[in-house]
Amino acid sequence: MKAEIIAVGTEILLGDIVNTDAQVISLGLDELGIDVYYQTVVGDNPERLRAVLDIARERSDLIITTGGLGPTLDDLTRETIADAFGKELVLHQPSLRRITAFFDRIGREMTPNNIKQAMLPAGCTVLPNDWGTAPGCAFEADGVHVLMLPGPPRECTPMFRTAGMAYLARLAGGVIVSHNIHIFGMGESQMEDQLHDLMEAGRNPTLAPYAKDGECLVRVTAKAESAEKAEQLLAPAVQQVCDRLGDVVYGVDVGSLEQAAARELTARGLTLSVAESCTGGLLSKRITDVAGASKFYKGGACTYCNEIKRKILGVSKETLDRYTAVSVQTAEEMARGIAQVYGTDIGIGITGYAGPDGGEDGTPVGTIHIGICFQGKAQVRTICSPRGRENARRDAANHALDMILRAAKKGANG
CB 159 within 8 A of CB 149: yes
| CA 72, chain centre distance (Å) | 31
Nearer to its own copies, 94 or 210 (CB): 210
Q: Which of 102, 144, 148, 142 is nearest to 125 (CA)?
A: 148
Q: How far is the CB of 228 from its own copies (least distance, A)?
A: 28
Q: State the Cα angle at 402 between 396 and 408, rounded to 5°.
A: 135
Q: How far is the CB of 43 from its own copies (least distance, A)?
A: 7
Is 231 exposed, middle or buried, given 0-12, 13-18 or 19+ CB atoms closer than 10 A?
Answer: middle
Nearer to its own copies, 84 or 293 (CB): 293
The residues of the shown chain that bind its own copies, judged by CB under 8 A, are 12-15, 17-20, 22-30, 35-43, 48, 51-52, 55, 59, 274, 276, 278-285, 287-289, 291, 293-294, 297-305, 307-308, 311-312, 341-343, 355-356, 389-390
Q: Which of 263, 275, 291 is nearest to 346 (CA)?
A: 275
CB 42 within 8 A of CB 8: yes
Nearer to its own copies, 205 or 300 (CB): 300
Q: What residues have CB less than 8 Å from 329, skipping those under 6 apart?
A: 319, 322, 323
Q: How far is the CB of 96 from its own copies (least distance, A)?
A: 28
Nearer to its own copies, 389 or 409 (CB): 389
Residues facing residue 220 across a β-bridge: 179, 207
> DSSP assignment of 105-162, as one string?
HHT-PPPGGGGGGGEEETTPEEE--SSSS--EEEEEETTEEEEEE-SSHHHHHHHIII
Q: What residues have CB less than 8 Å from 119, skipping those under 6 apart?
A: 78, 89, 90, 91, 92
Q: How many angstroms separate the CA atoms of 402 and 82, rounded?
A: 52
Q: How far is the CB of 221 from its own copies (least distance, A)?
A: 13
Nearer to its own copies, 310 or 381 (CB): 310
Q: How far is the CB of 129 from its own copies (least distance, A)?
A: 20
Q: Which of 126, 404, 109, 388 is nearest to 270 (CA)?
A: 404
Q: How many angstroms separate the CA atoms of 88 and 92, rounded?
A: 12
Q: How far is the CB of 152 from its own copies (least distance, A)?
A: 15
Nearer to its own copies, 38 or 103 (CB): 38
SS3 385: coil
Q: Which of 31, 25, 385, 13 is nearest to 205 (CA)?
A: 31
Nearer to its own copies, 192 or 231 (CB): 192
CB 293 within 8 A of CB 287: yes
Nearer to its own copies, 56 or 408 (CB): 56
Q: How far is the CB of 34 from its own copies (least distance, A)?
A: 11
Q: How far is the CB of 141 from its own copies (least distance, A)?
A: 23
Nearer to its own copies, 14 or 73 (CB): 14
Number of other CB atoms surrounding residue 176 within 10 Å: 23
Q: How far is the CB of 131 from its own copies (least distance, A)?
A: 14
